[in-house]
Chain A
């Protein structure tokens, strides 16, 4: 390992100045986008006060640069004997200390800008209350790697010390074990090839892409409309409405086009996001790396793993691939983004990953399955009915004709179909070690949790469920809650009793 002295307080890599400046600037622009747009909409403003505006903007940019530079100068970190230290802040100074044993994860990542400037972002995650999380924006790649190694080494040394104090007698043999595992080289466990990645993209939920496209179109349309009405004084709204030919061909071409481009966008974004996905096994942990423009490096820790999610859909089944999402312990409900995605996994790979995370075989797990009752359909049905009613009102007020009528009717049928699928798929399975919560509509999602990782269990019954004898079972874990809807109340009660009994009778901790 390199012999860098980490105890001297250091600044970030020199390129960090620009990185901080550019990211701050983008943030400012984003915050004040409406103010910045004013000169474009009021023609006179730019003519009358043009110089002032330009001077003002330049002044603000210069001020921002000075501020970014100062925050770069004030951002100092070092490793002292017991902890990682960080000083930062231009006006409000802050000092953060993270003891080695509280470090849970160290992530290195590069977004597009960081790749351009040839620096990496460095993140230290801690468990618990989640306030002391450290983000260093710009470090040299080699330096970041050696800092990471150093921190991991320190953390492990600490861990060993504690172990030695605790188990003095058994120290000799357990230590041998430890060192033999440590000497193990990081080994490549799984690598996603491009063809499979394409398959993943094709089998992804294309509505994500369609949604993205529609949002973009709506945004673009609004922008263009505001812009044109300001400048040319024409009423685009009326003009546009008059020009829409109400023919079936036009509408079907439009829908087809949107779906096609949406599909294309979905494939593109998936490929960019998961480009060159790699998993390496490093001692007890797994390092996952992916992304073309934004290279993300995340560590899956065996003990921190809470929810193991397996997703398939009919097209994925055809391609014989599955997606896995791993949720780790965090101090908040995990968003989809925070889950670690391992996409395009074949059945043997899935088995291997599961085995290395939980030390048991996935195929050997047999569950006692408890299904959501059929009445759940009405919950979904009323929800979709709400959407339909709002849509119909909108259609009635703005654009009522037979096409929108048929469209809404079709949508209602799609909703009903999806609701039926959702009810059919919703179930919970339990066995002595695992809980398997299944849901999804077209997609099938299995969420696997080890029982001893539960935090608490709830039974919730709304006023109707209290009369018709159903209950929702809510499982709280350290990475969010899972809800199993409309179980029979006695069954839900039995499951709760069993799960609580298991959590209380085990001596395994949740982390």
Chain B
């Protein structure tokens, strides 16, 4: 198909793919693994305990373990392969974020559609000295953007940048 009557030529428009993207902090991967590990230890514990309890026929814990291992393998691929894909970039009028291995998602949010910005830190990320930036847009939370695994300086710089842009447009 060809695009016509759009006032501008599509090939002349700035391409979001041409922007240089920055990665998040490397130590964030450790934090993801710790989080994931805790969950999986709990999940694995259940069927293993079930091994030693009489009334369960043996095939139940075994099949649960097989399924769990499969899920773990998938999650591991997602984390290991997906981590280098977690990139963000800023342009003059918008912020770009991409992530995901099995579901690779690229998001572009114009600054003038951002309602407010929040820097958050969970208990574990405090230990790693990591912050996450949450950009709220109007409407459902599916439109919000969360960038995890930033150091304090980057998070604040991004926040300042985004806020400056939003307020200029407000005036």
A residues apposed to B, CB below 8 Å: 127-128, 329-333, 366, 368-371, 430-432, 454-463, 466, 476-481, 491, 493-494, 496-498, 500-501, 503-504, 507, 509-511
Contact = CB atoms under 8 A, between A and B. Distances in A.
Interface residues of B, number: 38
The 6 closest A-B pairs by CB, nearest first: A476-B143, A478-B139, A504-B93, A456-B109, A455-B137, A478-B138
A329 B113 CA distance: 14
Contacts of B93: 504
A511 B138 contact: yes
Contact of B6 (A329, A430, A455, A462): A430
Nearest to A477: B139
Nearest to B140: A333
B6 A368 contact: yes
A329 B138 CA distance: 8
A455 B143 contact: yes
B105 A460 contact: yes
A315 to B, nearest CB: 31
Given A456-B113, A458-B108, 15 more contacts: A128-B138, A330-B140, A368-B5, A430-B6, A432-B7, A454-B113, A456-B110, A457-B108, A459-B105, A460-B105, A461-B103, A477-B143, A493-B16, A501-B13, A504-B110
Given A333-B140, A510-B138, A491 B1 contact: yes
Interface in B124-171: 137-143, 145, 169
A461 B99 CA distance: 11
Interface of B: 1-8, 10, 13-17, 93-94, 101-110, 112-113, 115, 137-143, 145, 169
A500 B6 contact: no
Given A332-B140, A456-B107, A457-B108, A498 B6 contact: yes
A497 B8 CA distance: 11
Given A330-B139, A370-B1, A463 B102 contact: yes
Contact of A503 (B104, B113, B140): B113
B102 A493 contact: no
B143 A456 contact: yes
A511 B1 CA distance: 33
Contacts of B105: 458-461
A501 B139 contact: no
Contact of A462 (B13, B17, B102, B145): B102
B1 to A, nearest CB: 6
Given A432-B5, A458-B106, A460-B105, A496 B140 contact: no
A466 B104 contact: yes
B102 A497 contact: no
A500 B141 CA distance: 20
A459 B17 CA distance: 12
Nearest to B139: A478
B127 to A, nearest CB: 30
A332 B5 CA distance: 34
Given A332-B140, A430-B6, A481-B142, A497 B1 contact: no
A496 B108 contact: yes
Contacts of A458: 105-108
Instruction: Give chain B's interface secondary structure class.
Output: mixed
28 contacts: A329-B138, A330-B140, A331-B138, A332-B140, A333-B140, A366-B5, A368-B3, A430-B3, A455-B137, A456-B110, A457-B108, A459-B106, A460-B105, A462-B102, A466-B104, A476-B137, A476-B143, A478-B139, A479-B140, A480-B142, A481-B140, A481-B143, A494-B3, A498-B6, A501-B8, A503-B110, A504-B93, A509-B112
Contacts of B104: 460-462, 466
A232 B110 CA distance: 68
A510 B142 contact: no
Most chain B CB atoms below 10 A, which of A329, A332, A496, A509: A496
Most chain B CB atoms below 10 A, which of A366, A454, A498, A500: A500
A434 to B, nearest CB: 12
Contacts of B14: 497, 501
Contacts of A511: 138
Most chain A CB atoms below 10 A, which of B14, B103, B143: B143
B108 to A, nearest CB: 5
Contacts of A466: 104
Nearest to B17: A493
A478 B6 CA distance: 24
Contacts of A497: 10, 13-16
B10 A333 contact: no
A54 B94 CA distance: 66
Nearest to A480: B140
A456 B97 CA distance: 11
B148 to A, nearest CB: 17
A459 B106 CA distance: 5
Nearest to A463: B102
Contacts of B140: 330-333, 476, 479-481
Contacts of B3: 368, 430, 494, 498
Contacts of B10: 494, 497-498
A251 B101 CA distance: 49
